[in-house]
Structures are given as C-alpha cells and as structure tokens.
C-alpha cells in the first residue's frame, strides 16, 4: 500500500478534529465564544484561539524535533495542571460575567460611535490568542514520548 500526501493530510485532519473535540478545548473555546454577542465575533475569537494553539504546537514541536529531544514527564504534568487552573479561572469568570449581567438593569441604546465595541472585541481576541498559546504547551508534550 502506497502512502500518499493526501492520505497523510487526511489522517492529520481527522486526528486534528479528534484533538479539537477534547473537553478542555471545548470548555475554553465555548467560554471565550460565549462572551461575544455576534456569531462572527465568537467565531473569530475561536479562530484566534486556534491560531495560538497551533502556533505553540508548531514552535515547540519544531524545536523538539530539531533538538531530537522531548518534554520531560514532570514538565508535561505541570503544564497540564496549569491548564487546569486556567480552565477553572475561565469558568469562574464566566459565572461572574453571567451574574453581573443578571444584576444589571436591562437597557438598550445605540451609539453613533461603536469604537468601544471594537476595543472590547480586540481584547477578547488577544485573550483568546493567549489562552490558545498557553493551552498548546501540554498538547505538544505527548507527541514526543
């Protein structure tokens, strides 16, 4: 059986989808996306998370391949623990955000200048990118054992 570029890419895509459906990824991305009011903003926040996650995997993976080294098991466990703390933080901030929204009186108004919305979204995208970068660290570890 001949291994083609297409079969390697297809396998990589399938494994990538499987990896993306892991609970920690789903929690992080859904928590970040739930902070956006519009679908395209939530989707863009998810894209930024994915860019961060992929960038970390690529950089760490490339370094480890070039050095012919691996991430020690103790480091891997520590990174996983830190990601767990980040997930707890995301959960707490999501609950506090919901609580804050419930306490605020409902009012609708329209601003002619929507600049503050752009700045808030930009911050969300940076936060999403950072969380993706951070969550990529322990994800790189199992590849090199």
Dump pLDDT digits (tens) for 72-90.
788 888 888 988 898 899 8
* pLDDT of amino acid 76: 80
- pTM, two decimals, is 0.72
* pLDDT of amino acid 33: 84
Is 46 domain-assigned?
yes
- If you search the block for the tokens 């691996």, which residue do you land on? 70
* pLDDT of amino acid 7: 92
Pick out the chain residues at pLDDT < 50.
Answer: 144-145
Is 9 domain-assigned?
no
Average predicted confidence (pLDDT) for the chain: 81
Q: Are 32 and 127 in contact (CB under 8 A)?
A: yes
Q: List C-alpha distances in Å: 101 to 24, 35, 80.
A: 25, 11, 32
Is 138 domain-assigned?
yes
- CA 50 to CA 130: how far, in whole Å? 10
- CA 15 to CA 25: how far, in whole Å? 14
As for how many domains the chain has, the answer is: 1
* pLDDT of amino acid 85: 92
- CA 14 to CA 11: how far, in whole Å? 5
Is 6 domain-assigned?
no
The tokens of 60 are what? 């760490």
* pLDDT of amino acid 64: 81
Domain encompassing residue 48 = 23-103+113-144
């Amino acid at each position: 059986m001949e291994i083609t570029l297409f079969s390697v890419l297809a396998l990589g895509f399938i494994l990538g989808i499987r990896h993306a459906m892991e609970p920690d990824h789903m929690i992080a991305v859904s928590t970040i996306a739930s902070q956006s009011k519009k679908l395209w903003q939530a989707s863009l926040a998810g894209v930024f998370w994915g860019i961060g996650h992929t960038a970390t995997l690529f950089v760490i993976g490339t370094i480890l391949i070039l050095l012919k080294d691996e991430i020690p098991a103790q480091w891997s466990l520590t990174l996983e623990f830190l990601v767990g703390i980040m997930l707890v933080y995301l959960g707490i901030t999501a609950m506090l955000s919901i609580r804050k929204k419930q306490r605020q009186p409902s009012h609708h108004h329209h601003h002619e200048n929507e600049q503050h919305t752009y700045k808030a979204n930009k911050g969300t995208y940076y936060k999403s990118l950072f969380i993706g970068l951070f969550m990529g660290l322990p994800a790189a570890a199992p590849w090199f054992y």
